[in-house]
Amino acid sequence: MKQNEVALDFLLEGFIDDALVEQCHGITVNALVQDNRKARSGNLFIAHQGYNTHGLLYAQDAVAKGVTVVLWDGDLENRSEILDSISNKVLCLHCDDLKDKVGAIASRYYEQPSLSMNTIGVTGTDGKTSIAHFLAQCLDAYDVHCGVLGTLGNGFINDLHPTGLTTVDALLVQKTLAEIQQAGARHVVMEVSSHGLDQGRVNGVAFTTAVLSNMGADHLDYHGTLDNYAAAKKRLFYTPGLGAAVINLDDEFGRKLAEEVRDHVCVWGYSLEKDVSAYKDIADYFVNAQAIKPFERGYHLSVSTPKGEACFDIPLLGRFNVSNALAVLSTLLVSQFSLEHAVSSLSDVRSVDGRVEIITEQNKPTVVVDYAHTEQGLSAVCQSMREHFEGNLWCVFGCGGDRDRSKRPLMAKVAEKYTDRIIVTTDNPRHEDPQAIIDEVMAGFSSVDNVEAVIDRRQAIDIAITNARSGDVVLLAGKGHETSQIVGDVHIAFDDRRVARELLSSREPDDEGSEEPA
Residues near 375 by Cβ (< 8 Å), separated by ≥ 6?
216, 217, 407, 410, 411, 413, 414
Cα–Cα distance for residue pair 377/389, rounded to 1 Å: 18
Structural domains in the chain plus CATH codes: 6-107 (3.40.1390.10), 110-346 (3.40.1190.10), 357-506 (3.90.190.20)
Residue 290 near residue 304 (C-beta atoms within 8 A): yes
DSSP H or E segment with residue 497: helix 496-506
Q: How many CB atoms lie within 10 A of CB 221?
A: 13
Q: What does the longest C-alpha to C-alpha distance in the chain come to?
A: 83
Per-residue model confidence as pLDDT tens for the chain (518 residues): 556 899 999 999 999 999 999 999 999 999 999 999 999 999 999 999 887 899 999 999 999 999 999 999 988 888 999 999 999 999 999 999 999 999 999 999 999 999 999 999 999 988 999 999 999 999 987 756 899 999 999 999 888 898 887 788 999 999 999 999 999 999 999 999 988 999 989 999 999 999 999 997 565 566 668 888 889 999 999 999 999 999 999 999 999 999 999 999 999 999 999 999 999 999 999 999 999 999 878 999 999 999 999 999 999 998 999 999 999 999 999 999 999 999 999 999 998 889 899 999 999 999 999 999 989 889 989 998 988 888 999 999 999 999 989 999 999 999 999 999 999 999 999 999 999 999 999 999 999 999 999 999 999 999 999 999 999 999 999 999 999 999 999 999 999 999 999 999 999 999 854 444 44
Cα–Cα distance for residue pair 244/277, rounded to 1 Å: 21
Cα–Cα distance for residue pair 152/137, rounded to 1 Å: 14
Cα–Cα distance for residue pair 197/212, rounded to 1 Å: 14
